[in-house]
Amino acid sequence: MSDQEASNRVESAEEPGASTLLVVDDEPMNLTLLAQLLQPLYRVRTVNSGERALQALASGTPPDLVLLDIMMPGMDGFEVLRRMRENEAWRDIPVIFVTAMDDEESEQEGLALGAVDYIHKPIVGLVVLSRIRAQLEAKSAREMLKHNNARLAEKVSAGAHALEQTQLQLIQAEKMAAMGQLAAGIAHEVNSPIGYIGSNLGTLELYWQNILALLAAYEAVEANPGDEAAFAAVRACKSEINFDALRQDMPELLAESKDGVGRVRKIVQDMKNFSRISDTDWQWADLHQGLDSTLNIVWNELKYHCTVTKHYGQLPKLRCLPSQLNQVFMNLLVNAGHAIQGRGEITITTESLGAEAVRISISDTGTGMSEETRAHIFEAFFTTKPVGQGTGLGLSVAKGIIERHHGTIEVASRPGRGTTFTLTLPVDASSEAWRDATPT
């Protein structure tokens, strides 16, 4: 296959309406492997250089997603991504780096430029397909957000019920878009314990084989009780397999693996609780449990450059919509992490305001905001983040959720002095007293 042929090959998925992917890699073998993996599900176009990637983007309909190698002669993947983010027609296309580079500095540089995920070589088919599906679903959710927002005004006249349904769809779409942004970090948090569980199982398998060998030696003694050679063989086997160290190590390996399984189970449960479709079922919930669950989901976004300090007071359970409040917490925590350059601290403070209300504050030591920015942060589609790193609806949706709970959300911020968001919520937001006292 010639270079020109490799740079323009298009594979067509049989499924009508399949998403289009652009695969960029200077290695022909990688292009072939990825095309064979993806072709049954997607329309795939492959190119073998950064320059040809830009040409492919400029010709015809832009792809739905780009799989981009970093280390290429001429124009590398970082430069291709910079050019894409400078072009209004391409800047919203999700880009996943597929690279043999495995250092954190390169990964941070790629994410800062706007990459949505990293896949490390050698590629694993299921991992590639899963990451692509997650980002295409997140892209679809973002597009649905704009579509739903455009229809929102039309639905107002249809009555309160239609408006509420649209708001719930908007909340859920924003939630799914946010989860798409966090997908790579959540996968890392799951893969870490899975990695050492797999390693431990390999060691335990070896230990089990050694134990079987020792049991076989003991069986020989049982068969010949007076055979001194059989006893000598048992002693030799125990020495060879280092039985004392094995006996000490096995419980530790099992305990560590059990802890890893618990971590994975907790993350999966938190994701399940967070991702469930929002409803109108008010229930009594533990606010601290919601905060901790949300921290568990966003932890990979924070742990490399933030310390999180919790000052939890004695809070009663709140009658609320827990999954929606968790969505507010997630938005504020992720925003706090993004506001911190270098290393910093996020502080979560909760306190009871008598028997009727509670207060939650989330503070950061980040860059802070100007008065002009502060005046617009709750407006729909207003964002200070780079393109591809936010929908511009997070704080707008958060404010709507808090108001639905008949609460308030306030912000205090100064440039260079950090930001504090303060939520005040009634203990029973569903009660008629609060509904009558607080305008909707």
* Angle between helical axes of 287-302 and 160-223 (0-180°, round to 10): 70
Question: Cα-flanking dihedrals φ and ψ of residue 168, to 5°?
Answer: -65, -40
Both 233 and 322 in a single domain? Answer: no
SS3 call for 437: helix
pLDDT at 108: 83
Residues 200 and 243 in one domain: yes
Cα–Cα distance, 299 to 11 (Å, whole number) = 39
Cα 122 from Cα 34, distance rounded (Å): 11
What lies within 8 Å, CB to CB, of 428 at 6+ separation is 318, 319, 434
Q: What is the DSSP letter of 407?
A: -
Distance from C-alpha of 35 to C-alpha of 1, rounded to nearest angstrom = 14
* Burial classification of residue 203, based on how many CB atoms lie within 10 Å of its CB (0-12 exposed, 13-18 middle, 19 or more buried): middle
| Backbone dihedral angles phi then psi of residue 132, each to the nearest 5 degrees | -65, -45
Cβ distance 21 to 63 under 8 Å? yes
Query: Is 218 in contact with 238 (CB distance < 8 Å)?
Result: no
46-73: per-residue pLDDT in tens? 999 999 999 999 988 899 999 999 999 9
Does 136 map to a domain?
Answer: no
> pLDDT tens-digit profile of 136-169?
988 888 888 777 777 775 665 555 555 555 566 6
pLDDT interval class at 303 (50, 70, 90): confident
The CA–CA distances, whole Å, from 204 to 166, 251, 252, 291 equal 53, 10, 11, 37
Whether 294 contacts 274, CB under 8 Å = yes
Most confident of 270-274, 313-317, 384-388: 313-317
Q: Would you say how long the chain is, in residues?
A: 440
Tell me whether residue 406 is in a domain: yes
**pLDDT higher for 9 or 423?**
423
d(CA 208, CA 28): 44
Q: Are residues 311 and 418 in the same domain?
A: yes
Q: Provide the CATH number for the domain around residue 45.
A: 3.40.50.2300
207 lies in some domain: yes
For residue 392, the model assigns a pLDDT of 53
Q: What is the CATH number of the domain that holds 300?
A: 3.30.565.10
Residues 326 and 240 grouped into a single domain: no
- Name which of 39-43, 75-79, 192-196, 311-315 the model is least confident about: 192-196
114 and 255 part of one domain: no
Question: In this predicted structure, what is the pLDDT of residue 16?
Answer: 60
Sign of the alpha-carbon torsion through 107, 113, 119, 122: negative
Domain boundary among 95, 123, 151: 123
**Structural domain that includes position 329:** 281-437
**Which tokens is 192 given?**
């870490």
| pTM of the predicted structure, to 2 decimals | 0.47
Task: Grade residue 435 by pLDDT with cuts at 50, 70 and 90.
Answer: very low
Q: Are residues 213 and 332 in the same domain?
A: no
Beta strands 344-353; 408-413: pairing state? unpaired
**H-helix segments, 224-286:** 228-240, 243-275
Sheet with 43-47: strands ordered across: 9-11, 43-47, 20-24, 65-68, 95-99, 117-120
Please check whether residues 24 and 99 belong to one and the same domain.
yes
Domain ends where: 64, 93, 123? Answer: 123
Could you give the CA distance from residue 44 to residue 60 in angstroms, rounded to a whole number? 14
Residues 272 and 302 in one domain: no
- Do 259 and 235 belong to one domain? yes
- 372 or 32, higher pLDDT: 32
Q: H or E element: which one contains 20?
A: strand 20-24
Stated as kind and residue range, the H or E segment containing 128 is helix 125-156
Alpha-carbon span 294 to 325, nearest angstrom? 10
> At a CB cut-off of 8 Å and minimum separation 6, what does 38 contact?
11, 21, 23, 44, 128, 129, 132
How many domains does the chain contain in total? Answer: 3
* Residue with more model confidence, 139 or 419: 419
Given this model, what pLDDT does residue 3 score?
Answer: 47
Which long-range contacts does 73-82 make (Cβ < 8 Å, 24+ apart)? 73/26, 73/49, 74/49, 74/50, 75/49, 75/50, 75/51, 76/50, 77/24, 77/50, 77/110, 78/109, 78/110, 78/113, 79/50, 80/24, 80/50, 80/53, 80/54, 81/110, 81/113, 81/114, 81/115, 82/113
Model confidence over 86-119: pLDDT tens digits? 998 898 899 999 988 877 788 888 888 888 888 8
| CB of 304 closer than 8 Å to CB of 346 | no
Whole-number Å distance between alpha carbons of 383 and 376 = 9
On whether both 160 and 246 belong to a single domain, the answer is yes
**Same domain (yes/no): 222, 173:** yes
Pair 56, 119 in one domain: yes
Mean pLDDT of the chain: 81
Residue 200, in any domain of the structure: yes
Beta-bridge partners for 334: none
